[in-house]
Chain A
C-alpha cells in the first residue's frame, strides 16, 4: 500500500482525497499557490508544499514543481484529482518514470481516451455506437462539406476538449464555417490543439454516464449510471444516481458498453464513460474521463463504495476486492454544484469574499467543500465552491432533502447559484424526472427569481439597513438603546 500521497490539486477535491487518505492511515501532502494560503485543504494535510508562479492556476499545472514536491516529501503516490494534470498523459508517464505511483491509468490509456477522435474510433471498432460525425482530415472546405452532410443541428467539438470549451452548436449551413473557425480558435487557446470534429446534435438528449473501476489486471466492473442532463454552459449543475425514468434494459446495455470499452483498454483506475441518450432510447458513446469525476459522491452514496479508496488500492497494485454482483444501488442520491455566479445574468462567474458560511448537517447529507469564512473568491480559479449531496430512500426523498438543505445553506458575500438550484429542486418537470440537456433553457421562466412581495422586499431592505450606521443613527439615536451597535457589524 502507498505510504504518502501528494494531491496535485486544490479546494474541495483535495479535501475529499485527504479525508480518505486519513481513514486509510496514509500520509497526505498538499500543494498550494500563494493565492490559496489559508485554504482548508492545507489544514487537513499532514504536510504542505508551496507552488510558485505568476499565474495561480498555472502553478497547479507545473509538472517540475509537483514532481519536486513529491521527492522532497517522499511521497510515493500522486493523486491528480480532476482538472489540472489529471488527464495529462506525459505527466502520468513522468511520474511513473520517477517511481511515483500516478493514481490513474497508464499514460497510453490517458492519451487514447483524452483524444476524442481516437477514442471514438476505438469505441466504434468495439461495436459501441457513436453519433454520426465528421472529422477534419483534409482541407477546411472538405470538412465543411462532410459536416453539412450529417445534417443540422450540429455540434462542433474540440478533439482535445472538455468542459464545453471549444464547443459550438450550429443550426444552419450559413453559420458552419464561422463556428468551426471559432471552435478551432478556442481549442487552440485552451488545449494547444486546434483539431475539431462535427457531431450530430440529438433532440432533447440526456447525458448518462457510467462509473467504472478497473484494476489493470483484467477486472473491470461498473458502479451503475449517473444522470447529468441538467447543464448550463455545457457544464453539469445537477447530477444523480440512479437516472430517473431510464428503462432498466437500456440502462444495462449502456453499463455493459461502458465495461466493454474499459475492458478493451485494460483500464486501471476509476473512470467514467459518458453517453448521450436520445428520447427514443438510442445511445451514443461520447467520451471517457480517465479520472475521478466531480459528481462521484452520488455513486458513493448509492453503492456505499469509497471510490477514492479504491483508486488508491488499485494504484498500490491490488486487485479489485469485489465483483460486479456485489455492487447494488440503494435508494437515490443527488448532487448540486454550488458556484460563485449570477444565474440571472447568464451564469456569469462572480467574485467576492465569503463572509458568512453555515452548512446544513444531516445523516443523509454530504457537503464537499473547500471553502471557509473570510476566503476570497477570485477569478484565478474555477467558480465551483462546493457540492451539496443528499441521499434518500427514493428520488422524491432525495430531491426533497436536497431542497431543504439548499434553503438552510448560507453562503453570503459572493453571489451564488444556491437559490437557483433550490428552484430546480422545486420545479415540477424536474421532480417528474423528465430530464434532458435543454432543461434549464426550457424552464427558464419557472427558474427565474420570483417577484418579491412588497412585505418581503421591505423585510430584506430593513435587514440590510439595520446594519447601516447612518440609518441606525437616525432610527435609534446615538447612543441609545442600541449601543451594542458593534454587534450589527460583521
Chain B
C-alpha cells in the first residue's frame, strides 16, 4: 500500500503500513510504531496500545475530517482519499475560497492589482463577525468572483490570483 497522506491540524504527515504480523507496524512521519490491543470501550471512544503505551481517546468522523480527542487535546485530521484531486499538490494557491458562508461587506482590491502575502483583499461577514480575507501569497488579482454585498456559500471562490511568476500551471485532472 502506498503511504496514506494525512494532515493533522494542518500539518502533513505520511503514514505507511510496514508490517501486519506479528503486530501491526506503522510508519507515521519519521517514526515507526507498533500498535496492539485496539478496542472500542464505548460509543465514540477508542483505545489502543502504541509501543506498549495505552492511548485512550475520543473519535468522530465528520464529512470532511476526523476529530480525535486524546488527553484533553482535540486534533483535526484529514485523510486523503485515493483519486481525490489536489491532495499533496505543492503548487501555490491560486483560488481563495470561502471557509464559511457569508457576505462581502468591503472590497479592498481591484482586478489587476498586485498584492502581497497577508494583504487584506476583502472584508466578509460570517456569523455576525467581520473577517478579513488575506492574500495567501504575493501575486496579481486575476478575478474577483464575489461582488460587494453579495452572499456566498462555504467553499465558493472569492478571488483568483494569477499564477505566480515562474509557476507552471498544474495539469488538470480528470475529475
Residues of A at under 8 Å CB distance from B?
165, 186, 189, 233, 346, 348-353, 355-356, 358, 379, 381-383, 406-408, 410, 412-413, 415-416, 418-419, 422, 449, 452, 454-468, 470-471, 474-477, 482, 487-490
Give the complex CA separation of A410 and B57 in angstroms. Answer: 10
Residues of chain B within 8 A (CB-CB) of A165 are: 128
**For the complex, is B44 an interface residue (Cβ under 8 Å from A)?**
yes
Assess whether B100 is in contact with A355, with CB atoms less than 8 Å apart.
no
- Max chain B Cβ within 10 angstroms of own Cβ: one of A412, A449, A452: A412
**For the complex, is B91 an interface residue (Cβ under 8 Å from A)?**
no
**For the complex, is B119 an interface residue (Cβ under 8 Å from A)?**
no
Quick one: given A457-B28, A461-B15, are A416 and B50 in contact (CB under 8 Å)? no
**For the complex, is B66 an interface residue (Cβ under 8 Å from A)?**
yes
Assess whether B62 is in contact with A467, with CB atoms less than 8 Å apart.
no
Q: Mark B10-26, 1 if CB is under 8 A from A, else 0.
A: 01010101001000101
Give the complex CA separation of A458 and B32 in angstroms. Answer: 9
Binds A, one of B68-76, B109-117, B138-146, B160-168: B68-76
Give the residue of A419, A452, A488 whose beta carbon is less than 8 angstroms from that of B40.
A488
Give the residue of B75, B79, B82, B131 whose beta carbon is less than 8 angstroms from that of A460.
B75
Tell me the count of chain B residues lying within 8 A, CB to CB, of chain A.
60
Give the residue of A379, A419, A457, A464 whose beta carbon is less than 8 angstroms from that of B102.
A379
Give the residue of A457, A464, A474 whose beta carbon is less than 8 angstroms from that of B66.
A464
Give the complex CA separation of A133 and B109 in angstroms. Answer: 35
**For the complex, is B31 an interface residue (Cβ under 8 Å from A)?**
yes
Contact sample, A vs B, 22 pairs, CB 8 Å cutoff: A349-B100, A355-B60, A356-B58, A382-B127, A406-B72, A407-B72, A410-B69, A419-B73, A422-B72, A452-B8, A460-B75, A461-B77, A463-B46, A463-B70, A464-B6, A464-B66, A464-B75, A464-B77, A467-B59, A475-B17, A489-B61, A490-B44
Assess whether A413 is in contact with B67, with CB atoms less than 8 Å apart.
yes
Give the residue of B67, B68, B82, B128 whose beta carbon is less than 8 angstroms from that of A470.
B82
Shortest C-beta distance, A244 to chain B (Å), equals 24
Q: Chain B binding site: helix, strand, loop or mixed by DSSP?
A: strand
**For the complex, is B118 an interface residue (Cβ under 8 Å from A)?**
no
Assess whether A457 is in contact with B1, with CB atoms less than 8 Å apart.
no
**For the complex, is B150 an interface residue (Cβ under 8 Å from A)?**
no
Give the residue of B20, B29, B76, B131 whose beta carbon is less than 8 angstroms from that of A475.
B20
Count of inter-chain pairs, beta carbons less than 8 A: 175
Assess whether B74 is in contact with A462, with CB atoms less than 8 Å apart.
no
Residues of B at under 8 Å CB distance from A?
1, 4, 6, 8-9, 11, 13, 15, 17, 20, 24, 26, 28-31, 33, 35, 38, 40, 44, 46, 48, 50-51, 53, 55, 57-63, 66-77, 79, 82, 99-102, 105, 126-131, 154
Residues of chain B within 8 A (CB-CB) of A422 are: 72
Give the complex CA separation of A459 and B53 in angstroms. Answer: 10
Quick one: given A407-B72, A422-B72, A464-B79, are A413 and B9 in contact (CB under 8 Å)? no
**CB-nearest residue of chain A to B129:** A349
Residues of chain A within 8 A (CB-CB) of B61 are: 355, 464, 467, 489-490
- Max chain B Cβ within 10 angstroms of own Cβ: one of A350, A410, A452: A410
Assess whether B6 is in contact with A412, with CB atoms less than 8 Å apart.
no
Assess whether A449 is in contact with B9, with CB atoms less than 8 Å apart.
yes
Shortest C-beta distance, B93 to chain A (Å), equals 16
Assess whether B100 is in contact with A454, with CB atoms less than 8 Å apart.
no
Quick one: given A351-B154, A382-B128, are A459 and B62 in contact (CB under 8 Å)? no
